[in-house]
């Protein structure tokens, strides 16, 4: 039932005054937690509270502020962020350079008219062309990774006139209908079947399986528009393919005249020690998708970038078929421009490599001490994973780390592989702190 005008104003006013406090009192902090525990089951979903694996027994933690490699709860207790928003916080929380650009932009213009020329979209697209490999040149800006992949899939069909896609088992490309069709995890797909037709999933890291799938489809009169793949599977459990994988896919796509779509939404912008994970093996895709860290950890923005020969020939088709009200808006674009500047200026990929190597060596030393609990520690740069013997062990580790004020990431509904994706600004002292905590949790 609709509330009265007075009640709506009282409630929204109360929330605005909490948001306006520079420093919450202990009572305000407690009130926010209590409000949240009431609001989520009633107005969002209780499932969110239940699914927070790392602190299932400690649900009274609501995040309220953040900076650098840490976030704080409503009582000001600090947590080291080793989950990093699954890739969002490469530059850390509220990097000053990004905040400065966004604040300036906010005071001038936030969104755009939809009709006139919005210059920041052009500037950002030019910068994307400057940082991406080969002849990737034309960008299409959206709000989330899944939308970038939607356009990538649509463009592959438009540009080739062909139909099928090859994607990979355990691959993750988002949860809208098209991207979900490419996603290779039954858990996310089953409730929505039937999805978009024309997707075949093959084992990840196996180029011969891609070739065989294309051969079978072509033999039976079908056509293949593209192959969509992550350079390292994130959500799938930090799965790193052989170095020969992406070059082989490049060659297969060229031979079969279909497009190679590399989803760098989680791996991109420097996290894995090179600007893009596909740079590691020097492969240029036909379409690359970016998201998460693309907005500098401050604004939500994602992007699809492609070559003139695929995009340019469409005249005004892709824009009309793919326009997005908020995609590439000035405020988000300002964040992405500052993010690119910062990543290049500070050589974030090199820092990610150096800190990632140190972190991973520490995890591997621990793995060798507890091989009966941890099967493997693997990763590249600041995208790492600890694989445990079973889900329960991973869950217990995540939980005990959280008790020590360290947040790590399980994969949704499965903690067998715990992901570690900290900001580049994590200090060596903080890395040592995390390593000691992992060791203590395994001792327990």
Ligand X SMILES: Cc1ncc(COP(=O)(O)O)c(C=O)c1O
Q: Is 297 in the site for ligand X (CB under 6 A)?
A: no
Distance in Å, CB of 145 to ligand X, minimum: 2
Task: Determine whether 196 is exposed, middle or buried from the number of CB atoms within 10 Å of its CB (0-12, 13-18, 19+).
Answer: middle
Most distant CA atoms of the chain, gap in Å: 69
Q: Is 105 in the site for ligand X (CB under 6 A)?
A: no
Who contacts 426 (Cβ-Cβ below 8 Å, separation ≥6)?
69, 80, 82, 355, 382
Q: Is 234 in the site for ligand X (CB under 6 A)?
A: yes
Distance in Å, CB of 44 to ligand X, minimum: 17
Distance in Å, CB of 146 to ligand X, minimum: 3
Judged by CB under 6 A, the stretch of 168-176, 207-215, 240-248, 406-414 that binds ligand X is 168-176
Q: Give me the half-sphere count of Cα atoms (radius 13 Å) on the Cβ side of residue 409.
A: 22
Q: Which of 144, 151, 333, 338 is close enough to bind ligand X by CB under 6 A?
A: 144
User: Which residue, 149 or 239, has its beta carbon nearer to ligand X?
Assistant: 149
Closest CA to 290 of 317, 313, 262: 262
Q: Is 387 in the site for ligand X (CB under 6 A)?
A: no
Q: How many residues bind ligand X (CB under 6 A)?
A: 16
Binding mask of the shown chain, residues 57 to 96, with x at each position contacting ligand X by CB under 6 A? -----------------------------x----------
Q: Is 442 in the site for ligand X (CB under 6 A)?
A: no
Q: At what angle do helices 428-443 and 391-403 cross, to 10 degrees?
A: 130
To the nearest 10°, report the CA torsion of 426, 429, 433, 439: 100
Q: Which of 61, 262, 265, 332 is close enough to bind ligand X by CB under 6 A?
A: 265
The two structure tokens encoding residue 396: 């217990």
The CA-atom distances, in angstroms, between 440 and each of 137, 371, 404, 414, 444 are: 49, 15, 10, 22, 6
Q: Is 235 in the site for ligand X (CB under 6 A)?
A: yes
Give the residue at shortest CB distance from ligand X.
145
Q: What's the CA angle centered on 122, arms 319 and 172, to 5 degrees?
A: 60
User: Which residue, 276 or 441, has its beta carbon nearer to ligand X?
Assistant: 276
Q: At what angle do helices 330-345 and 348-369 cross, to 10 degrees?
A: 70
Tell me which DSSP letter residue 284 carries. -
Contact between 95 and 102 (Cβ < 8 Å)? no
The two structure tokens encoding residue 171: 């691959």
Judged by CB under 6 A, the stretch of 5-13, 166-174, 323-331, 406-414 that binds ligand X is 166-174
Q: Is 295 in the site for ligand X (CB under 6 A)?
A: no
Judged by CB under 6 A, the stretch of 262-270, 274-282, 305-313, 406-414 that binds ligand X is 262-270
Closest CA to 63 of 93, 42, 108, 43: 93
Q: Which of 81, 150, 211, 263 is close enough to bind ligand X by CB under 6 A?
A: 263
Q: Which of 132, 266, 272, 441 is close enough to bind ligand X by CB under 6 A?
A: 266
User: Which residue, 336 or 438, has its beta carbon nearer to ligand X?
Assistant: 336
The two structure tokens encoding residue 269: 């912008």
Judged by CB under 6 A, the stretch of 44-52, 114-122, 145-153, 203-211 that binds ligand X is 145-153
Distance in Å, CB of 375 to ligand X, minimum: 22
Q: Is 172 in the site for ligand X (CB under 6 A)?
A: yes
Binding site residues, ligand X, CB under 6 A: 86, 144-146, 149, 172-174, 230, 234-235, 263, 265-266, 291, 302
């Amino acid at each position: 039932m609709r509330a009265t005008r007075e009640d709506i104003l009282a409630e929204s006013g109360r929330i605005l005054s909490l948001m306006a406090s520079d420093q919450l009192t202990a009572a305000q902090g407690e009130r926010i937690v209590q409000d949240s525990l009431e609001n989520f089951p009633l107005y969002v979903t209780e499932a969110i509270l239940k699914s927070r694996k790392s602190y299932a027994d400690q649900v009274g933690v609501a995040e309220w502020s953040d900076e650098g490699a840490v976030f704080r709860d409503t009582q000001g207790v600090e947590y080291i962020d080793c989950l990093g928003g699954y890739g969002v916080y490469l530059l850390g929380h509220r990097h000053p350079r990004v905040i400065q650009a966004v604040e300036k932009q906010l005071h001038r213009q936030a969104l755009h008219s939809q009709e006139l020329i919005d210059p920041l979209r052009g500037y950002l697209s030019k910068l994307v062309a400057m940082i991406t490999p080969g002849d990737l040149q034309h960008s299409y800006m959206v709000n989330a990774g899944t939308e970038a992949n939607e356009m990538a899939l649509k463009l592959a069909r438009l540009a080739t006139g062909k139909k099928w896609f090859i994607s990979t088992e355990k691959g993750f490309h988002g949860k809208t209908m098209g991207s979900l069709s490419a996603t290779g995890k039954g858990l996310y797909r089953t409730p929505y079947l039937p999805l978009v037709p024309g997707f075949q999933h093959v084992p990840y890291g196996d180029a011969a399986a891609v070739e065989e799938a294309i051969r079978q489809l072509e033999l039976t009169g079908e056509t293949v528009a593209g192959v969509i793949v992550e350079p390292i599977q994130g959500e799938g459990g930090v799965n790193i393919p052989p170095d020969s994988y992406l070059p082989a896919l490049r060659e297969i796509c060229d031979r079969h005249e279909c497009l190679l779509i590399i989803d760098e939404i989680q791996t991109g912008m420097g996290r894995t020690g090179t600007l893009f994970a596909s740079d590691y093996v020097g492969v240029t895709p036909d379409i690359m998708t970016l998201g998460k860290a693309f907005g500098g950890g401050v604004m939500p923005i994602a992007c699809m970038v492609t070559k003139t020969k695929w995009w340019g020939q469409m005249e005004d088709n892709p824009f009309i078929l793919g326009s997005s009200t908020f995609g590439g808006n000035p405020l988000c674009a300002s964040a992405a421009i500052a993010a690119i500047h910062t990543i290049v200026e500070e050589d974030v990929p090199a820092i990610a490599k150096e800190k990632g190597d140190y972190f991973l060596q520490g995890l591997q030393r621990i793995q060798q001490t507890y091989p009966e609990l941890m099967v493997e520690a693997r990763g590249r740069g600041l995208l790492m994973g600890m694989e445990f013997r079973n889900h329960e062990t991973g869950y217990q580790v995540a939980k005990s780390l959280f008790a020590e004020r360290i947040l790590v990431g399980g994969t949704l509904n499965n903690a067998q592989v715990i992901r570690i994706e900290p900001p580049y600004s994590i200090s060596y002292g903080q890395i040592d702190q995390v390593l000691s905590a992992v060791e203590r949790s395994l001792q327990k």
